[in-house]
Structure 1
Amino acid sequence: MTTALLPLNTSVRTARTCTSPLLCDENVSVRLTAITVLTQLVLKDVMKVKGQVSEVAALLLDPEPHIDNLAVNFFNELAAKDNAIYNLLPDIISRLSDPERGMKEEDFSTVMKQLFSYITKERQTESLVEKLCQRFRTAKTERQWADIAVSLSLLSMCERGFKKLQECWECYSDKLTEDAVYQPLLSILAKLRRRAEPQFK
């Protein structure tokens, strides 16, 4: 029986940027086997995930629902390991926002929403704010700036996180002329105001 081939979302992965070819294969069966085996190896501590985790994150957008569900399960299980997703997030963001990858803005936001849902500790949020702000200094394209700003806006920002954002002002102040940077950062303030205590308004 011939396995059907499904066209991959080209905004999710390309041959040039894929760090784990089996997870990016056009054949549904190959991707399914790859994510299943990788999940078992990682969760049983047989291997450590590095670059492959960004490809698993991209599978959150897979056109095959079963693979999409397996990717969600992978991160659900990984979240049970102390700080695992927190430690991997900077690399995931860097790889998915690579201009050569060509991921659509909407797709990037969808993936980040899922991944940031696992960040629940205030100190992790504060640290990620600082790390993301520092990336404004090395990001080379307007799209990368926008991805960083969107990532910041998707964090469950607390007062400490917002103060860290203010402290890092010099990292992104020169990028605020870009609407794709300004609007996501402005939304952070709006969300904080909506849920702030009276003395913090």
Structure 2
Amino acid sequence: MLADGTKVWLNSRSTLTFPGSFKGNIRNVKLDGEGYFAVTKNVEQPFIVETNKCNVKVLGTEFNVMAYAADSVWETSLLEGAVEILVPGSNNSGMRLEPNMMASLKGNRLVKGRIKEADYFLWREGLLCFNDISVRDMIEKLKLYYGVDIVVNNTRILKNRYTGKFRTKDGVEHVLKVLKLNNKFTYTKNDETNVITIN
């Protein structure tokens, strides 16, 4: 919990930089990774989440931001309230979201849409949820969540699709063992280099 009462949940491999107390006319934090925010309302002191690609400005709301500096994906999803997304260095005035909407950055352009999957936010409760996702995209998420490098030599599995839920505490190898049930592959893990190779 932050000094103003705002609650923050951070996903794996995520960091949040914030002051001990908020002074001045804004409440400013910096996020690298993924965070879910339940912001305490204060009309006179907006809350701003800075990331490496976009900033999210709110007054009081619940929203999720995914902005890993090492990843090309940037997106935010709004569950309650309203947010404004600002692209630093851009000439446009930003984009406003309403509840159950999301925005993602495609190149230098913000794209708005409806939240596709409510289960996506269950990471706060220690669950990884995949809904009809390609194995290629699933592996990218596993790399982010578990901080491992995954090399895929068996590229035929990458276009396959998967739906399922996993407890994060069970680890990446548990996910791979379950994935192997429907996809024919083997894997090895080098503990010294933290690399998993899928053959």
Q: Which TM-score bucket, shorter chain as reference? A: under 0.3
With normalisation by structure 2, the TM-score equals 0.27
Greater helix fraction, Structure 1 or Structure 2: 1
